[in-house]
Amino acid sequence: MFRSVLFIQYAIILAISFVSGVICFQVFPLDKSMKLISFIDPRVLDITDISIWGTIVPLIAWMVLVLFFATHPYLHVLAKLVVGVKITFFGFSSVFLLTQQESLLVYSIWWFPFQLIYCFLLFMLCSVYAAKKVGPNKKYVFSQRLFVTVLITLSVICVGEIVSISYILPKL
């Protein structure tokens, strides 16, 4: 029961944050949008010149930020907020890609699937440090198994994204 409620909560956060990103793109002027995108993830602006580090560094930055808040006993609620901000940027950049790029294939092969999977995995990172009820007290437990599983999955998806950027997109 608890897992289904958590899944529904994450799905609602995903939907609201993505739509918020779309709305924010409509409100911002294009030059300000490009400045924001270049600050957070410059790959969106120039998909022809993407390095391996340009793919890995933004992912690690989001992971570290989520883990910082998720493992803090008092600020763990902010981890979901950080993922919500990531999803808002995902929606913001999605609209930018769809309005600025000529190819829908770039969006559908590279940006959308990988960013969506990253967002789900970042939500899973929010759950690595959870409170367990032990008698009348709460005890915080770090789930190493979940942490290692999420890290391995993130690594595999990151390699898939690098292969997609390096080998599939140039042939389109």
The separation between the first and the last C-alpha atoms of the chain, rounded to the nearest angstrom, is 45
Question: Which pLDDT score is estimated for 51?
Answer: 80
pLDDT in tens, 116-144: 999 999 999 988 887 666 667 777 777 88
pLDDT-based confidence at 2, cuts 50/70/90? Answer: low
State the DSSP code for 42. G
Query: Domain boundaries in the chain?
Result: 2-171
In the chain, % of residues over pLDDT 90: 44
C-alpha dist (Å) from residue 120 to 124, 127, 136, 145: 6, 11, 33, 17
Buried b (16+ CB within 10 A) or exposed e, 14-32: beebbebbeebbeeeeeee
The residue type found at 153 is: T
What are the tens digits of pLDDT across the range 66-107?
999 988 878 888 999 999 999 999 999 999 988 886 667 788
Q: What is the pLDDT of residues 144-155, one digit of tens each?
A: 898 999 999 999
Range 20-32 average pLDDT: 92
List the structure tokens of 47: 């998909």
Q: What separation in angstroms does the CA of 46 have from each of 5, 22, 37, 52, 130?
A: 39, 20, 11, 14, 39
